[in-house]
Chain A
Amino acid sequence: MRALLKLFSPGLWLVLLMAVASTVLVALLPVRPSRGMQMWVFDANHFKIATTIAAGWNREHPDTPVEVKQVTGAAIQTRMLSAFYSGTPVADLIEVERSMIGQVFAGPVADIGFVDLTERLDREGLRSQINEPSFSPWTSRGHVFGLPHDVHPVMLAYRADLVEAAGIDMSKIETWDDYFRVLRPLMVDLDGDGRPDRYLLNSSPNTLFYHEVLLLQSGGRLFDESNHPTLNQPRNAHIIAQLATWYTGPNQVAAEAPVGGISSLQLIRQGYVIGMLAPDWFAGFIRLSFPDMAGKFKFRPLPAWEKGGRRTSVLGGTMLGITKASRNQEAAWAFAKRLYLSADSAKLLYEVDGIVTPIKANWHLPFFDRPDPFFCNLPMGRMFLQLAPDVPVRPSSPYYVLTQQLLSSVVIRLCQYADEHHTWTAAGLEPEAQRLLDEAQAKVEAQINRNTFLRDAR
């Protein structure tokens, strides 16, 4: 024994002892067994709604209760992908945000970690009950992998207090050209430095989302129905050239108070941006962020690109998927329907989050018509629902985020080109916009063509 003790120094023995003790301690830590099903959500309001619905479900289904956990979006993305790639433990049900889903669809259809819901939706006649465009981000190669949570039609949120104080009548505005012309007097210099301290639209070349929102509204698109990139279609070049004239040059009308950014709340409060591209969830964001500003914001349909054109677009989106690893897939499906399809959940979704349901059968519910005192008594739910059928279809391509980034790069470069060449008209910028989009299209195609797993689908 003494010889054994002398084999190592006291310090080394101490390290060994600590290693053994900590290993034993970790091994003995109690692991709380998971009861029933687990559901991961990334948003605090979604968590609130899901726990409320789950409480009722758990009373009625004590054998398959649901435990809802709020996990940050980044953690959901990492754990979900790890589970799908390598079979690590994962929840039975996961709410997935649109920017996370593309990577799930990058492999063979058979290896996608979510249960294919196509046949269930058709068999139970649910497909026709849900707003059709809401399925598109969750559909890959003809298979639907998630139940849509929302529609997210986009309206124009604007500072009614500033607009009305200037005596501007918004009801006469029909197109973007009208909007910028009529509101132009609001771009005033408040501090006497010779520069405007107010802009008419919350967007900038660096934004990742708003270019696509405006492109989709105009009839442009990043991918076609078979997820082939269509970045360089002429309509996109036309719109991008128009956007560049909004962002730079003597007629600049847009600047960004980046939503979620450090300074956005301060800038929005100051009226730095008069108008904002606002989906239904943005109404909830405004209410939560500026509780003292009731009566200062109003919503109306987006100005169209041309007279008679589309008055909405789409931004954001969430789905609920059932993982293949779930041992309770049937119970998970039943709970998913309860959570997303019931009238109760539609009411909760609207009241807690301001989000309108994609379930058409619930669109008649009276609470959507209720005037909202925070937004000058506008019937917000009804206004969004009237636009829901016009929401454009969006891609589910694994290369969607890449394409979105490339679109932003194109706009940045086009603005630089405009400044360098003193060309600040849409017609003058269109050829360069087309050239930049052609370059970007080639980059996306090269990446897509490299993907062996998508080749069969092509």
Chain B
Amino acid sequence: MKASRLHSPWTPWLFLAPFLLSFAVFFAWPAVRSLMLAFEQTYGPKTTAFVGLTNLRFLAHDPFLWTAVGNTVVFALAAVLLQIPAALGLALLLNRSDLRGRRFFRLVFFSPSIVGLAFVAIMFSFMLEKRTGLVNGSLHQLFPAWNPDFPWLERYVMPSLVLAQLWISAGFYMVYLLAALQNVPGELLDAANIDGAGPWQRFWHVTLPEIRPVLNIILLLVVTGSFQLFDLPYLLYNDTSGSGPDNHALTVVTYLFQTGFRSGDLGYASAIGWMLTLVLVGFALVQRRLAQRNET
């Protein structure tokens, strides 16, 4: 009797209910509501006006948005081209069996990713400050001709952000790649060695194909993380609400935040959010298709 009650047709739904309820409340309804909001102008959620396609039309010509998109794409490209090779380089270094103090170096390389982002932003501000900053101070000491007022944070906004992000993330992705490298079968490398393959050929034809699935995941994480960049520029360029000098640090999510939560226009912010979602979903699909093609 008890068993039959537990196996009634409602039982699976009972177990699914917590997930379905939380999914509906915290994901499905907000998603539907934000889609509706994209066609409204708001002054907070209470005061709204239906504006049809106006938000979407404005998106196409909004110079701030396109500046933000440009900055975000540059950041994402720099992140892919620097973070992944740097992480791979560190992982290859730590994977060497003849390296002494591997655990120590693993901790050293990984430690930036456990440091709080606010701390990183303050640290980079201290380092790159005009006149009193560590970088300008050291360069001026070493090369007296160096201008101690060199404006790193103002003139090299994107490189500053990329450098700070590289410092935080390289060690984090290194851990993934180190795990992948340690799973590369030794017999494959030995066989390649016996066949006369050099270190570069072994890496290119054996190691790289073996760690490609992990690289694909990292690529996805780096790109989606880059497109969601917000906190680092917000902290580093706090006086301009994250926009930076001449909007050089303005990212899509920073602009979304400024529009939605500073100007109160949740409608336009939703339109920006949906655009970002479509771009990221598109990228994920393309990346998955390419990964599948490589595997076949």
Most B Cβ at <10 Å: residue of A192, A206, A267: A206
Task: Give complex CA distance A206, B132 in Å.
Answer: 17
The answer to whether B193 has its CB under 8 Å from any CB of chain A is no
The answer to whether B154 has its CB under 8 Å from any CB of chain A is yes
Cβ–Cβ contact A453 & B262, under 8 A: no
Contact with A along B22-60 (1 / 0, CB 8 A): 000000000000000000010111110101001000100
Known: A106-B264, A408-B245. A81 touches B44 (CB 8 A): yes
Considering the complex, give the chain A residue whose CB is closest to the CB of B140.
Answer: A193
The answer to whether A32 has its CB under 8 Å from any CB of chain B is no
Considering the complex, give the chain A residue whose CB is closest to the CB of B64.
Answer: A443
Cβ–Cβ contact A193 & B247, under 8 A: no
Number of interface residues of A (CB under 8 A): 42
Cβ–Cβ contact B149 & A255, under 8 A: yes
Q: Which of A111, A193, A262, A398 contacts B125 (CB 8 A)?
A: A262
Cβ–Cβ contact B240 & A263, under 8 A: no
The answer to whether B263 has its CB under 8 Å from any CB of chain A is yes
Cβ–Cβ contact A107 & B47, under 8 A: yes
Task: Give complex CA distance A446, B241 in Å.
Answer: 21
Task: Give chain A residues whose Cβ lies under 8 Å from the Cβ of B125.
Answer: 262
Cβ–Cβ contact A106 & B43, under 8 A: yes
Task: Give chain B residues whose Cβ lies under 8 Å from the Cβ of A208.
Answer: 239-240
Cβ–Cβ contact B43 & A107, under 8 A: yes
The answer to whether B131 has its CB under 8 Å from any CB of chain A is yes
Task: Give chain B residues whose Cβ lies under 8 Å from the Cβ of A255.
Answer: 149
For window 24-60 of A, CB contacts with B under 8 Å fall at: none
Cβ–Cβ contact B44 & A85, under 8 A: yes
Contact with A along B236-268 (1 / 0, CB 8 A): 000111010111000000000000011111001
The answer to whether B16 has its CB under 8 Å from any CB of chain A is no
Binding site for A on B (CB under 8 A): 2, 41, 43-47, 49, 51, 54, 58, 61-64, 125-126, 129-133, 140, 144-145, 147-149, 151, 154, 239-241, 243, 245-247, 261-265, 268
- Given A107-B47, A408-B245, A453-B41, output 4 extra A-B contacts at Cβ < 8 Å: A87-B46, A111-B43, A258-B239, A453-B47
Interchain residue pairs A-B with the least CB separation, the first 5: A85-B44, A107-B43, A263-B132, A409-B246, A412-B246
Give 21 pairs: A residue, B residue, CB < 8 Å, sorted on A: A81-B44, A81-B264, A85-B45, A87-B46, A107-B43, A195-B149, A206-B151, A260-B239, A262-B129, A262-B132, A263-B130, A263-B131, A263-B132, A267-B132, A408-B240, A409-B247, A412-B246, A413-B246, A450-B58, A452-B41, A453-B43
